[in-house]
Amino acid sequence: MDIQQKKKKPMREEQFVPRRIPVTHINIRQSISILVVKVILLEFLSLFTFLFTCRLVNCGSFPLFMQIFSIVISGLKLTLFIYIIYQWLTEYYEITPERIIHKRGLIFQRMDIYYFKHISAISYQQSLFGRLLNFGSITLHDWELEKNITLYLIHNPKKYYKLLKMLNPNMDIENKTIREKFILEDEKV
């Protein structure tokens, strides 16, 4: 076979077939907008503290005090900034097909586990400011613990609300029937 014959031979086109990627869990953190607002408020608080103290003490007549006070305020601001970032990084919700896990902490990790089979109701709330910056809260009712669980100020709550409803679309109906069975058995006695 010569080179021209090889060029004329039709090549078989391979079709792209998308594969499904199994997802075992999804992590949800507090909205980045809330983190930015906290950092901006920290900046304003430190500036206000510095200006207020300089006004009380008259920093112009005490240059050494002003330098030391600036270093102390900067140190406190840095410490609070690290704490805000640390808190944002180490607190999150992990959603699996069976449960929601609220994890907090790095060294001393604390976990609260809520099973979908115990969730009887779900709702989400978004303020006007939340709609603009796309954050809000999702509230779940756990009938076994008899309390509401709030996924507080998370990013895109409508998306995760739909995901939670999709994971257990009949959660209201199933849980109500379970409670009705208990009530009916108690009434027979």
Using one digit for the tens of pLDDT, what is the confidence trace for 61-75?
A: 777 877 888 888 899
Domain 95-178, architecture per CATH: Roll (2.30)
- For 123, the 3-state DSSP assignment is strand
Question: How many alpha carbons lie under 13 Å from residue 57 in its C-beta half-sphere?
Answer: 15
Q: Which pLDDT band, with edges at 50, 70 and 90, does 107 fall under?
A: confident
Q: 117 to each of 6, 50, 138, 142, how far by Cα in Å?
A: 63, 53, 17, 9
Work out whether the CA dihedral 153, 155, 157, 162 comes out positive or negative.
negative
pTM over 0.85? The answer is: no
Q: Mean pLDDT, to the nearest integer, of 29-50? A: 92
List helix spans (H) across 31-170: 32-57, 63-90, 128-133, 157-167
* Averaged confidence pLDDT in the chain: 81
